[in-house]
Amino acid sequence: MILTDSTADLSPEYQIKEDVQSIPLFIRFDEDVYKDGIDITPSELYERVKTTKEIARSTGLRSGDFHNAFSKYIKRGYDIVYIGIGSNLSSTIQSAMIARQELETKQVFIVDSKSISAGLALLVERAVQLRNEGKSALQIKKALDELVPRLHFYYILSDLDLLKHNYRMKSFKFRMALLFKSKPIVKMINDRIELYKHPFGKLENKINSLIRLVEKQMKHHEMTDLVITHSTDEKTAQYGYDQVMNKLHPKKMSMYTLGCVLGAQIGEHAFGFAYIMKDSTKKG
């Protein structure tokens, strides 16, 4: 059985079709706590932040949450591969490991994605592919662990107030970003988050800037799978999808709507994608 958490931002349709179970993290507004994607949707989250100016925070899963999730499949004789949000981003992976130890089971295999959203979704999709090829849970875990260091995730931050709050941007840089409408590109590899570049203009221009950035890095490497996650309108998302497909030529590509956890961190009208770098350089 393949389990993940709601920060993978997989669509309900995909989860049903591919028999993937997602455990919701929690979103907190002061004293109000909601299950991500169940008690609150991304659009409801953005509207509340906009109207109340409250800061939404995410809360990781506890070991008890995993006891419940793991136990029902263990009792039915399933081996479980749990692929979760990066351990430097949340305590969720640690909670899963505690639950596995307390259950004294050898049926649970845990993969630290060292990522979130598109990066995590990419690993889940690869796990599904491997399961469909007949690979065992242990084989799937080993394959995913080898992919994690080659997983690259870029996204365009959209809300400058969230940027200042969550990334502790210096006041001068924040004022300049407001003045020039800069919405930085953030790069994440192996749980490391870095403010990478500051393109200007409309979101479409920023998407093109992001693609050019990745094109340069892909000069001597090949790309395999790619997943897009976004919190923008359908027209802009489709523009981004088409540009990524036409310029980067991934062998396989999916697109999902950004969920509440990362949405609370980077805001509405964000766009990003993760891809797996092939483990070899191009010849010539």
Of 62, 32, 20, 26, the closest CA to residue 260 belongs to 26
Residue ranges and CATH numbers for the domains of the chain are: 2-148 (3.40.50.10170), 151-281 (3.30.1180.10)
Cβ-based neighbour number of residue 166 at 10 Å? 17
Cβ–Cβ under 8 Å, residues 203 and 159? no
Q: What is the pLDDT of residues 203-252, one digit of tens each?
A: 898 899 999 989 987 776 778 899 999 999 999 999 999 999 999 999 89
Q: What is the pLDDT of residues 59-113, one digit of tens each?
A: 899 999 999 999 999 999 999 999 999 998 899 999 999 999 999 999 999 999 9
Of all residues in the chain, what percent carry a pLDDT higher than 70? 86
Of 182, 174, 176, the closest CA to residue 201 belongs to 182
Q: What is the pLDDT of residues 259-272, one digit of tens each?
A: 999 888 888 889 99
Tell me which residue has tokens 């506890």: 62
Residue 168 is predicted with a pLDDT of 43
Q: What is the pLDDT of residues 153-205, one digit of tens each?
A: 998 876 555 454 444 444 444 444 444 455 678 888 877 777 666 666 788 98
Q: Is the pLDDT of residue 21 over 80?
A: yes
Of 34, 19, 23, the closest CA to residue 66 belongs to 23
Of 198, 207, 197, the closest CA to residue 244 belongs to 207
